Amino acid sequence: MENYVNYGGEPIIRFHHKYKSLGEFILERLSDSENLAEIINGVTGNKITRENMKKQSLHLASFMREKIGVKSGDIITILSENRPEFPAILFATYLCGAALNALSAFYTNDELGHALTIVRPQVVFVTEKAAKKIIQVLQKLNLNSRVIVLDVLDDGVQNGVITDKNILKISDIMKSNSISPKINFKIVDENIEKRVAFILLSSGTTGLPKCVQISQKNVLSGFSGTLKIFQDFSKDRDIVLLITPWVHNFGLLSLMRLVVFGCKMVYLPRFEDKLYLQTIEKFKISVCFVAPPLMVFFSKSPIVTKDNVTSLRKLYSGGAPLSREIIESVQKRIPNIEVIYNGYGLTETTTGVTNADSNINKPGSIGFLWRDIWGKVIDPKTGKSLPPNTPGELCVKGDQIMIGYMSNEKATRETIDPQGWLHTGDIAYYDENREYYIVGRFKEVIKYKGFQVAPVELESLLLGHPGVRDSAVIGLRDLVAGELPTAFVVRIPGGTVTEQELLDFVSDRVSNPKRLRGGVRFIQEIPKNNNGKIMRSVLKEYLRTKPKL
């Protein structure tokens, strides 16, 4: 056995040993009378019970098989906000043995074209807002995908598109009685190790996103590793508020786990600060699943008070690093919060690979490895495993690790080595207790006169200033020093903090190479993707065109 390798421990159960397909697992969970799963629209109050989800999923799966010809191995794309039809589309896909390719309805034509050129789906489910756009892209790519619209189209789209034989409406399908009875719907056994379940886009914060292939085995393994925490939500009768987009890894896997493990969930299609707080009050939300920007909202927003979040007991953050300063600020501001979980993972790892509990783990750590996950930190030059408290590249291994990038074998080989270790690109270390800490990303490290400066450290420090609502740090190119640490800062509403105040604030707390020699730029919003990760390429382009204030 290789030295300095850690293991998260044996899982309680290995679902990928018990089930022959993801569809079989889902159908069994939706058929379990003890499964009390319920999905509630936070805007309308409309409910979807576990029984409703089963009926809708079987109906849609039968239609896709019999009327469209969807079969195992096909690809179904969905472009949608969080909405009531989404769970049925998701589960029907797996009942058919197909793979779900989830894309944001806010993608541009070029972004959609990039993804669909690789994926080439048989069916596309699309929200009304993106219908015109997706049809234009499909026509440009000469793809004959069947398009199913998720709501009534406006007159302009109807007149130009709805007459096309390839265009269907979800409402018509769900009302249709022209398909055979669903009681005898047969699920085909799959090779779960090779059968793709998800095709999700990587974050794309530094370039074009890659299409990540997640297998059915990966998904079932992820369910095994996170079983206890989701069972506890169900057992404690928690009501979970989920606002993270379902077309992205964190939101999609959270939706699935909350349903299969029998939890009651409220969702919103998008974030609106007042509506969000009203939803917490109205439904007595006890658990919120959030991305880090929402943790900043809880920490800094003046409209968050003790009175409108009294029901909250737990917060679960994922999708991007969460600073110690934000965790401590939220706990101080909302004293009824019992625990804050901070998960770390990548799209390529299916779900989280570490989990931090604010009551157990040290401040700033990303916690311990999930069950059935192996982890190590390596020297990026030699590839050798490093001992505790020695920063290097974090590598993880286990049954959750993706199959690879679709139509990109080169990138797959660069990410997963021959021994099956996935190289995360994150700089990390672990301590004597095997708690892990993220220092930064290799591609994001700022190199000042030979010294390496991690942006995440300076961003966390800036967020600790009472006048800062959000921050991002990147390197400004310099002929002498190489790069100068440069901050982009969003002031709190009505705030007046100055550049000099922040320069002094940072200088008093860091070593000389980490000082903000590139200065501070005040902006209205830090550009982030839907996972809450900073779009550093946007900020670098800003510095390229406007290097000086």
Q: What is the mean pLDDT of residues 382-401?
A: 96
CB 373 within 8 A of CB 400: yes
CB 497 within 8 A of CB 465: yes
- Say if residue 245's pLDDT is above 50: yes
| 3 state DSSP class of 344 | strand
- Say if residue 369's pLDDT is above 70: yes
Q: Which residue has the higher pLDDT, 410 or 232?
A: 410
Do β-strands 468-478 and 482-491 pair in parallel, antiparallel, or remain unpaired?
antiparallel
CB 324 within 8 A of CB 351: no
Element (H, E) at 90: helix 86-95
Going by pLDDT thresholds of 50, 70 and 90, the confidence category of residue 143 is very high
The predicted structure's pLDDT at residue 23: 96
Rounded distance between C-alpha atoms, residue 288 and residue 339, angstroms: 11
Do β-strands 422-430 and 392-398 pair in parallel, antiparallel, or remain unpaired?
antiparallel
- Say if residue 279's pLDDT is above 50: yes
The predicted structure's pLDDT at residue 348: 95
Element (H, E) at 352: strand 352-357
Rounded distance between C-alpha atoms, residue 262 and residue 31, angstroms: 11
Rounded distance between C-alpha atoms, residue 371 and residue 381, angstroms: 29
Q: Which residue has the higher pLDDT, 379 or 107?
A: 379
- Kindly give the interhelix angle for 455-463 and 499-507, rounded to the nearest 10 degrees: 120
Do β-strands 339-345 and 352-357 pair in parallel, antiparallel, or remain unpaired?
antiparallel
Going by pLDDT thresholds of 50, 70 and 90, the confidence category of residue 162 is very low
The predicted structure's pLDDT at residue 204: 54
The predicted structure's pLDDT at residue 108: 85
Q: What is the pLDDT of residues 91-117, one digit of tens each?
A: 999 999 999 999 988 888 888 999 999
Q: What is the pLDDT of residues 181-236, one digit of tens each?
A: 545 678 888 999 999 999 998 865 545 689 999 999 999 999 998 888 888 888 88
The predicted structure's pLDDT at residue 138: 95
Q: What is the mean pLDDT of residues 434-463?
A: 86
Q: What is the pLDDT of residues 283-334, one digit of tens each?
A: 999 999 998 889 989 998 999 988 899 999 999 998 776 778 888 889 999 9
- Say if residue 157's pLDDT is above 50: no
Q: What is the pLDDT of residues 54-89, one digit of tens each?
A: 999 999 999 999 999 999 999 999 999 999 999 999
- Say if residue 460's pLDDT is above 80: yes
Rounded distance between C-alpha atoms, residue 327 and residue 299, angstroms: 8
Long-range contacts of 461-466 (CB under 8 A, 24+ apart): 461/325, 461/505, 461/506, 461/509, 461/510, 462/487, 462/489, 462/502, 462/505, 462/506, 463/296, 463/299, 463/323, 463/325, 463/326, 464/323, 464/325, 464/329, 465/497, 465/502, 465/505, 466/492
Q: Which residue has the tokens 């034989």?
A: 165
Q: What is the pLDDT of residues 1-47, one digit of tens each?
A: 689 999 999 998 999 999 999 999 999 999 999 999 999 999 999 99
Instruction: Supply the DSSP symbol for 361.
Output: S
Rounded distance between C-alpha atoms, residue 431 and residue 146, angstroms: 52
Long-range contacts of 166-174 (CB under 8 A, 24+ apart): 167/135, 170/85, 170/125, 173/59, 173/60, 173/63, 173/148, 174/56, 174/59, 174/60, 174/88
The predicted structure's pLDDT at residue 166: 62
CB 213 within 8 A of CB 194: no
Going by pLDDT thresholds of 50, 70 and 90, the confidence category of residue 161 is very low
Instruction: Supply the DSSP symbol for 519.
Output: -
φ, ψ of residue 331 to 5 degrees: the values are -65, -35
Mean pLDDT, the chain, whole residue set: 90
In one-letter notation, the amino acid at residue 538 is V
- Say if residue 505's pLDDT is above 70: yes
- Say if residue 549's pLDDT is above 60: no
495: left (phi over 0), alpha (psi -120 to 50) or beta: beta
Count Cα atoms within 13 angstroms, Cβ side, for 436.
33
The predicted structure's pLDDT at residue 42: 97
Q: Is 439 exposed, middle or buried (0-12, 13-18, 19+ CB in 10 A)?
A: middle
The predicted structure's pLDDT at residue 341: 92
% of the chain exceeding 90 in pLDDT: 69
Rounded distance between C-alpha atoms, residue 249 and residue 348, angstroms: 9
The candidate with the shortest Cα–Cα distance to 336, out of 308, 372, 312, 307, is 312
Q: Which of 174-178, 428-432, 544-548 has the lowest mean pLDDT?
A: 544-548
Rounded distance between C-alpha atoms, residue 194 and residue 210, angstroms: 19
The predicted structure's pLDDT at residue 165: 61
